[in-house]
Copies of this chain bind each other. A is one copy, B any other.
Amino acid sequence: MMSEPDLDPGLHEPMPDAAVESPESESLDQDNRLKPEFVRAVKDAIDEDDGARVYALCEKLHPADIADLFELLDEDERPRMARAISDLMGVEVIAELNDWVREALVEALPADVVADIAEQLDTDDAVAMIEDLDHDEQQAVLAELDPEDRAAIEAALSYPEETAGRLMSREFVAVHETMTVGDLIDFLREHRELPTEFWEVFIVDPMHRPIGTCALSWILRTPRNIPLHDVMVRDQTLIPATMDQEEIALRFQKYALISAAVVDEAGRLIGQITVDDIVHIIQEEASEDILRLSGAGDGDINEPILMTVRTRLSWLVVNLGTAILASSVVGLFQGAIAKFALLAVLMPIVSGMGGNAGTQTLAVVVRALATNQLTDSNTWRMIFRELRIAMANGFALGALIGGGTWLLFSNPLLGAVIGTAMVVNNLTAGLAGILVPVTLDRFRVDPAVSSAVFVTTATDTMGFFSFLGLAVLTGLA
């Protein structure tokens, strides 16, 4: 480990304390969220059509907070706020907006205004802004762009959604390895049109294929006369333009990347992806897993309500099908229930507990698959692991509920039946919880999307069947 370098002692005018504090503390709470009273004040000003006051309130906000503010307003207030603060509506605000909120706002703006904003944005943010527009609106915006930007955006749109080609920025610094550190610094100082923020310089061969990278910290610390091929790192992670964003995020994580070169089929450098985009993608992909596992699709709280209803309802209808299937198992034992209604009282415990245990396993397995921790190499070990956990939990819960039932209803046979059914259903849950997602993953189906339906079907039907079946078999009813 190294200690912090000594400070340069030649120091004059100290800065006032105020510079250290964040200027936004009047609008932000301790968790860095906009204060409700601040949002209230903005809403009131919008309602009173007091544009000047809206502007005064928002003027000092960070663009990311302006974006948050938009999301917190009611839908009809958003375009009114946008008009009031039009010259604060910079590119950072647009880039930070939630997809749904941006889409609605962008649709409300005329094509030439959208084009103006797009020209100020990096390609990746410009693409994000217009990719969700419908075809006609997209064409209208593209027509307003200058030819070079239009070409860049059209090229990006030619790649499938959520791939590197869409996400990459076409602004990067690429030079040849024969340059010296000094040449590079001069080159950077002379070319004002270079990207404002970059963290690595890419080194390319004459065919424009990446052969190495140089972190800026290395360049800064190397004497001017050293050629880049002596300082560059040759071992780099290349991202094919067609790679899916989830895969890209995994590579950034695995290799702790700050930026990475995107290459076309011929291996030529065509763009870069930087870690700040990846941070959003990781958040997005992890949220997707939670929401899909829960049957809520990809929707967030800003999704138009009709789309939300459609997505959720379609999953609920699928679930209704499986619920009917499970209930038809109960139907087989209607006679037994009529004779001994206590069975109907106890059966939801067995099915429900199986569902809970299955959900636990499923969540762990889906995350392990998503983060590449569970692969073909350790599948069997993990299946045995889940089986052992299911056995342990099943016996513990079976003893608990079996013993309790025996004592409460003074019926040892009923206790034995529910206890055994609990063990059986916990094993079912553990097995289904790992086999379903692993199988779906094998067939390249996202295990987060549909695993829960299969697992719940398994635990519900097996819960009812094992408990009621054993009851009939043992002559309880």
**Closest residue of B by beta carbon distance from A270:** B4
Partner of A8, one of B171, B176, B256: B176
Is the C-beta of A143 less than 8 angstroms from some C-beta in chain B?
no
Complex interface: chain B residues within 8 A of A235 (CB): 23, 62
Beta-carbon contact of A316 and B353 below 8 Å: yes
Is the C-beta of A72 less than 8 angstroms from some C-beta in chain B?
yes
Give Cα A176–Cα B1 distance, bound, in whole angstroms. 23
Complex interface: chain B residues within 8 A of A323 (CB): 348-349, 352-353
Beta-carbon contact of A36 and B301 below 8 Å: no
Is the C-beta of A250 less than 8 angstroms from some C-beta in chain B?
yes
**Closest residue of B by beta carbon distance from A361:** B296
Is the C-beta of A445 less than 8 angstroms from some C-beta in chain B?
no
Interface segment out of the listed A104-112, A158-166, A220-228: A220-228
Beta-carbon contact of A208 and B19 below 8 Å: no
Q: How far in angstroms is the closest Cβ of chain B from A451?
A: 12
Is the C-beta of A52 less than 8 angstroms from some C-beta in chain B?
no
Is the C-beta of A300 less than 8 angstroms from some C-beta in chain B?
yes
Interface segment out of the listed A9-17, A80-88, A131-139: A9-17
Asked whether A309 and B176 contact (CB < 8 A) given A283-B371, A353-B323, A460-B352, the answer is no
Q: How far in angstroms is the closest Cβ of chain B from A130?
A: 13
Give Cα A456–Cα B315 distance, bound, in whole angstroms. 18
Copies of this chain held together in the complex: 2
Beta-carbon contact of A300 and B368 below 8 Å: yes
Beta-carbon contact of A287 and B367 below 8 Å: yes
Is the C-beta of A265 less than 8 angstroms from some C-beta in chain B?
no
Beta-carbon contact of B392 and A309 below 8 Å: yes
Is the C-beta of A144 less than 8 angstroms from some C-beta in chain B?
no
Is the C-beta of A308 less than 8 angstroms from some C-beta in chain B?
yes
Beta-carbon contact of A204 and B7 below 8 Å: yes
Is the C-beta of A407 less than 8 angstroms from some C-beta in chain B?
no
Asked whether A122 and B460 contact (CB < 8 A) given A178-B11, A312-B393, A401-B320, the answer is no
Give Cα A17–Cα B363 distance, bound, in whole angstroms. 43
Most buried by B among A74, A355, A364: A364
Give Cα A252–Cα B367 distance, bound, in whole angstroms. 23
Is the C-beta of A443 less than 8 angstroms from some C-beta in chain B?
no
Q: How far in angstroms is the closest Cβ of chain B from A427?
A: 14
Is the C-beta of A207 less than 8 angstroms from some C-beta in chain B?
yes
**Known contacts A8-B178, A290-B366, A323-B353, then 13 further A-B pairs from the complex at CB < 8 Å, ordered by chain A residue:** A15-B177, A20-B263, A32-B247, A36-B376, A36-B377, A72-B378, A198-B217, A286-B287, A294-B359, A296-B359, A312-B389, A313-B392, A313-B397
